[in-house]
Amino acid sequence: MYRKISNIAERELMEKELGVPFKFPKLYSPNSVINGTDESTLSIITVENPDYISYAIWGLLPNNFVDEWMDFQNILNTLTVSKENLNSNGIFQEPYHKRRCLIIVTGFFTYHLYNGSLYPYYIYQANNKPFCIAGIYNTLEDGFITSSMLMTKATGIIKKIQNLNSDMPVLIPKTFYNTWLDNTADMNEIHHIINQHNLIELKAHPIAKEFFKNGISYETMLEPVEYKGIPLV
């Protein structure tokens, strides 16, 4: 369900909030809607290189994978992974223990079904600043990084909005950044981090239903829209 996120932050704000610079700053540009099904690029900070912001293809691939990204995604969608599957599936287990990352966003999207129609919502931090989603990653032989977002059970305003599924991204507060990016951290501490709830204050509002159409401009997709009968949070 979570196949689109947003990162509209300017580079300077991201570097200030995360406390580290981009390794290749000229490659970054804000994007109101990042569509994971299009082999999109994320801004991340990795365990191996915590002193700068890197780039990753959204959708984890095995380390030794040599075929096309879409070939693998058609068999196993790895844009997201439930935290319950991190230790039960071999493709996720090693990255979870050894290659964690912070995925930098300014928001993400969810949906509410009402009277036979889907209504999209934009979810963002109450202070409108960038924040981080828990991720895992692999580095391919050609040097490209691929990454998955970690998912947990929905709480708070997301649970209030969603009526089609019960998941939401695992959000990592600043106080846990260093531990999450420490490859020597005790895994009990890591488990504790991904089981925390509501440590980041979120806001949400409905957006235009054109969000579902292909080939449109997403520049105004984050603006609030009012619809009768659906939750206002």
Q: What is the pLDDT of residue 228?
A: 86
Residue 28 has pLDDT above 80, yes or no: yes
Report the percentage of the chain scoring pLDDT > 90: 85
Contact by Cβ (8 Å): 229, 150: no
Residue extents of the structural domains in the chain: 4-108+128-152+162-198
127 φ/ψ angles, rounded to the nearest 5 degrees: -90, 5
Q: Is the confidence at residue 215, as pLDDT, over 80?
A: no
Output the CA torsion 193→198→204→209 (10° steps).
Answer: 50
- Specify the pTM: 0.96
Tell me, what's the pLDDT at 220? 85
In the predicted structure, residue 100 carries a pLDDT above the cut 70: yes
**Is the confidence at residue 89, as pLDDT, over 80?**
no
Phi (first) and psi of residue 208, to 5 degrees: -60, 140
Tell me: the pLDDT tens digits for 46-58? Answer: 999 999 999 999 9
Q: What pLDDT score does 1 carry?
A: 66
The string of pLDDT tens digits covering residues 198-209 is 789 999 999 999
What distance in Å separates the CA atoms of residue 167 and residue 165, rounded to the nearest whole number? 6
- Provide mean pLDDT across the span 96-106: 97
In CATH terms, the fold of domain 4-108+128-152+162-198 is hypothetical protein yedk fold (3.90.1680)
